């Protein structure tokens, strides 16, 4: 894959990853006999995170052309607040949900920017199906990832799909076909949106391959 030289580290906006508020809790006894509790797997499971919802997938079904411009104001506001290109936010929305705020993946990701429930909680999103909340939460997460990976566009996109841990463990884009394909698609739409101000025309072109 050709490395993109676009840098997203705009301005001095600094955001860090909030700590996950809930998780499974494990108990283990150290060599010194001290009992430890942790959310890292291992030892005896003593408490289960019961906030994980049951998944009812909903594939994108909105086929109206209006959907490509329906959320313009929210996108502009979020991109401005978090100092990211509007085109990046649009591209992620396009690839994640095809601009359908009702979308739910088989893994449980929700809304326009397909936020997993735990990511939504970290980004302080209360309703992932609310377009404005979802866009602001997803854009905030992109900003955090851009900071984490020093503004590297491809790594930011890869981390949005596979998680920041996977990118750090692999020292780059993870060797997952899904993630590699995801990066190509988002970058393709990103370039289309940058090439024209007509978001509808850029969105309805042939699907990236």
Q: Which residues are catalytic?
A: 96
| Mean of the per-residue pLDDT values of the chain | 85
Q: What's the pLDDT band for 203 if we cut at 50, 70, 90?
A: confident
For the segment 13-47, what is each residue's pLDDT rounded down to a tens digit?
A: 667 655 444 456 656 677 777 655 566 666 766 55
HEC sequence for 8-77: CCCCCCCCCCCCCCCCCEEEEECCCCCEEEECCCCCEEEECCCCCCCCCCECCCCCCHHHHCCCHHHHHH
Pick the CATH number of 65-203 from 3.40.50.300, 3.40.50.2300, 3.20.20.70, 1.10.530.10: 1.10.530.10
Q: Tell me the DSSP string of 159-207.
A: HHHH-HHHHHHHTSS-S-HHHHHHHHHHHHHHHHHHH-S-HHHHHSSPP
Rounded Cα–Cα distance for residues 86 and 88 (Å) = 5
For the segment 128-187, what is each residue's pLDDT rounded down to a tens digit?
A: 999 999 999 999 999 999 999 999 999 999 999 999 999 999 999 999 999 999 999 999
How do the domains of the chain map onto residue ranges?
A: 23-52, 65-203
């Amino acid at each position: 894959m050709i490395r993109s030289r676009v840098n997203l580290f705009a301005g001095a906006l600094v955001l860090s990853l909030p700590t996950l508020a809930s998780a499974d809790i494990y108990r283990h006894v150290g060599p010194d006999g001290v009992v430890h509790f942790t959310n890292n797997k291992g030892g005896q499971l003593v408490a289960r995170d019961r906030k994980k919802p049951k998944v009812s997938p909903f594939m994108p079904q909105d086929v109206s052309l209006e959907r490509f411009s329906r959320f313009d104001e929210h996108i502009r506001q979020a991109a401005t607040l978090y100092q990211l290109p509007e085109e990046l936010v649009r591209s992620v929305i396009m690839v994640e949900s095809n601009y359908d705020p009702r979308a739910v993946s088989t893994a449980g990701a929700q809304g326009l920017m397909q936020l997993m429930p735990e990511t939504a909680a970290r980004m302080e999103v209360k309703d992932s199906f609310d377009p404005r909340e979802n866009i602001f939460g997803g854009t905030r997460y992109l900003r955090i990832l851009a900071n984490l990976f020093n503004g590297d566009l491809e790594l930011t996109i890869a981390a949005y799909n596979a998680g920041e841990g996977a990118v750090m463990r692999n020292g780059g884009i993870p060797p997952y076909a899904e993630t590699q394909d995801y990066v190509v698609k988002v970058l393709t739409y990103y370039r289309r949106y940058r090439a024209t101000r007509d978001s509808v025309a850029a969105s309805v072109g042939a699907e990236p391959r």
